[in-house]
């Protein structure tokens, strides 16, 4: 079983650096995918209410035989469930649907500045953490100004900010803003839908190491020092994505990867993304 590095967040909670995400995993295969991932060696499962497969997450966890205390479970509160009462209902529903007594990390899924509820939601997160509903609280898709505001108005710093991050969207300013506040950066869609796989730096590293382009990109993430969420329902691909700890990119190769950044998103811009669904 691969020895996945463990990172420590600003609240002292330890989190596996590489995890398994269930975004766009159909409910009818989510349990099998989670069970497979846990048996292969993943110990972080990243879910969300929006994904509509949290029951499968819980089923897969129980079927895997891996003790609950060894698995780090993340969920998120969706946009239309922000606000004091709705956020609490969302978290309590996730606890019940997954079938656990406590979540390891809960995130505000998007800031949605147009509805201006993310600070109120954050205050509710702080209350729920104190009650023991979750061990850690964080945010997702927050830009630097959103992050600064929740900290300024509550005095509570998010443990983690999960953002879109891949070779063609490296967001160095936002990563630096996270670091300045001691907020762990975690990458979603880390492979950028494979758009950079044919780029010369990646193909050259793959040729040198005998690894796949996906493994090269995931290794790049790890060497940048942030956490990362990978995804596949194929057990062989799940294992490949976890098999990235037996090689390293050189300093020159890391520099070449940096040059691939073109600021191209695969998802929405958090500054303008509005209420949906």
Q: Which residues are catalytic?
A: 51
Give the end-to-end CA distance of the chain in Å, rounded to a whole number: 40
CA torsion angle for 111, 115, 118, 121 (degrees, to 10)?
Answer: -130
Distance CA 38, CA 12 (A): 24
Contact 202, 257 (CB under 8 A): yes
**DSSP letter for each residue of 241-253:** HH--SS----HHH
> DSSP code of 12?
S
Count of Cβ atoms closer than 10 Å to residue 271 Cβ: 12
Q: Which two tokens stand for residue 155?
A: 């005095």
- Class of residue 102 by CB neighbours under 10 A (exposed 0-12, middle 13-18, buried 19+): exposed
Q: At what angle do helices 235-242 and 213-224 cross, to 10 degrees?
A: 40
Q: At what angle do helices 118-131 and 84-98 cross, to 10 degrees?
A: 50
Displacement of CA 19 from its chain's centroid (Å): 8
Distance CA 139, CA 254 (A): 28
Count of Cβ atoms closer than 10 Å to residue 123 Cβ: 16
């Amino acid at each position: 079983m691969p020895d996945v590095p463990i990172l420590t967040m600003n609240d002292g909670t330890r989190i596996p650096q590489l995890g398994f995400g269930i975004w766009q995993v159909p409910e009818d295969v989510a349990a099998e995918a989670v069970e497979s991932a846990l048996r292969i060696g993943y110990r972080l499962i990243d879910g969300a209410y929006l994904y509509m497969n949290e029951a499968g997450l819980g089923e897969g966890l129980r079927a895997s035989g891996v003790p609950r205390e060894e698995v780090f479970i993340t969920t998120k509160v969706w946009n239309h469930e922000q606000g004091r009462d709705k956020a609490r209902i969302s978290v309590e529903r996730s606890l019940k649907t997954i079938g656990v007594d406590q979540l390891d990390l809960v995130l505000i899924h998007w800031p949605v500045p147009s509805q201006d509820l993310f600070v109120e939601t954050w205050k509710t997160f702080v209350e729920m953490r104190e009650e023991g509903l979750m061990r850690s609280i964080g945010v997702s898709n927050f830009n630097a100004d959103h992050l600064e505001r929740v900290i300024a108005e509550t005095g509570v710093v998010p443990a983690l900010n999960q953002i879109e991050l891949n070779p063609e969207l490296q967001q160095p300013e936002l990563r630096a803003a996270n670091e300045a506040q001691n907020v762990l950066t975690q990458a979603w869609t880390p492979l950028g839908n494979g758009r950079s796989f044919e780029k010369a730096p990646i193909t050259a590293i793959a040729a040198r190491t005998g690894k796949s382009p996906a493994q090269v990109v995931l290794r790049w993430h790890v060497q940048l020092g942030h956490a990362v969420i990978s995804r596949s329902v194929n057990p062989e691909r799940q294992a490949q994505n976890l098999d990235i700890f037996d090689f390293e990119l050189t300093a020159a190769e890391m520099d070449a990867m940096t040059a691939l950044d073109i600021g191209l998103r695969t998802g929405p811009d958090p500054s303008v993304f509005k209420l949906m669904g």
